[in-house]
A and B are shown apart, each in its own frame.
Chain A
């Protein structure tokens, strides 16, 4: 299966702000992580991240992040408008 590059915005709730999730993600799944921007304070962490790997592996990585409570959006953010 071909590798692909997918770009996301991750939003970490406050209780996950101090956990090294991007490091854990790279160890857990066969994806290359690349942080392009980050903005973190005590309440929330917002990180722009690209993931490179097989699409199934990227999907698993996204599902894992979401299972922990991280919001994962495509870089376009809200595609669905009124």
Chain B
């Protein structure tokens, strides 16, 4: 495997100290998060629009901007999901132009997590890990289990013991070791942290986090390329830890720095569910101190992170770009899911409902101009959270098996013609 000169170090986001490219994630001095740093001069000489366009349609077409040394060995087919122009949804939301970045069809587990996991596991292999793990209640677990299985890595998924079995089936099927832990959420958190610290396991969102998080940038790179090599005026991103928003922002900045896209004004907007909206509430209060939510209360489990690790940085991304944040009730989330399905033909999980309903509010309030263009990031498939909309999308109409009843109750040709 050839080593590339592009990914140079890990770097503390707080103090800028440089660290070697190992399985570490926190600065020893100030506990700031470490993130990947690159040699942009070398990257600028190696890639261009033309070089990127010549490569296969996966997220690895931007590989110089991802934190691995050699070629990817896990998730080689991930990414390059469709960017869809959603004219009917644009009309309903009251905006001139609207695009959907559709990660509901990301390969192989139908969520954007495949992006981050494929980077984390490719790097885990380079670092010599034989066991990979994560603590997750849903999308992340599915993705680690599937990608590890495909790559032949042994994997463990840690979950709270009282998690519904239905939610872990999507991991068990891949043959991963699922470990239920008795205890409150914070106790489980702490145990996972201790395991990651003590044993030689690669925890994708703990000691491999600097690598893992960078995978999210590919969503931003793809958006720019699919828009014809430009940055969208507005990007609306669902926020859990806030990491995805900061990484899409980083992707835009990197493309500008490399001269791959023009330096045009853009705005990053974040959305959350009102039952767990620490980042949105901080933005609305005009502060960058994120007040934790101790008991999240929302149907949007995938965004229900009460102490968001990247909240502070997400707030700064939104402030720097003149963006804003919004949060929506569970009822609005369901409306958002239904609008996206009915007007764009995309069935998203609850986080997608948050994005659509949040965008509607941002357009109504003028934070996103009605005459502007926006991209909504839709991060996971609706089949994963069907329970959220059961009984809320109507029910089949039942008839006897004869034409008379069909015409009486369902479809009368004369009446249909009259209504044309």
Contacts and interface: CB of A to CB of B under 8 A. Distances in A.
A39 B139 contact: no
Interface in B219-244: 240-241
B58 interface: no
Contact of A74 (B30, B193, B240, B302): B193
Query: Per DSSP, are chain A's interface residues mostly helix, strand or loop, or mixed?
Result: strand
Interface string B152-189: 00000011100000000000000000000000011011
B253 interface: no
B30 A78 contact: no
A80 B137 contact: yes
Contacts of B37: none
Interface in B59-106: none
A16 to B, nearest CB: 14
A79 B190 CA distance: 8
Interface residues of A, number: 23
Interface in A1-60: 7, 9, 11, 36-37, 39, 41, 43-44, 46, 48
B31 A81 contact: no
A73 B205 CA distance: 15
A76 B189 CA distance: 9
B137 A79 contact: no
A80 B291 contact: no
B135 interface: yes
B415 to A, nearest CB: 47
Nearest to B26: A75
A53 to B, nearest CB: 15
B204 to A, nearest CB: 9
Contact of B206 (A11, A36, A76, A82): A76
B139 A11 contact: no
A75 B188 CA distance: 14
A-B residue pairs, 9 tightest by C-beta? A82-B302, A74-B193, A77-B309, A79-B192, A82-B138, A48-B31, A80-B135, A79-B135, A79-B189
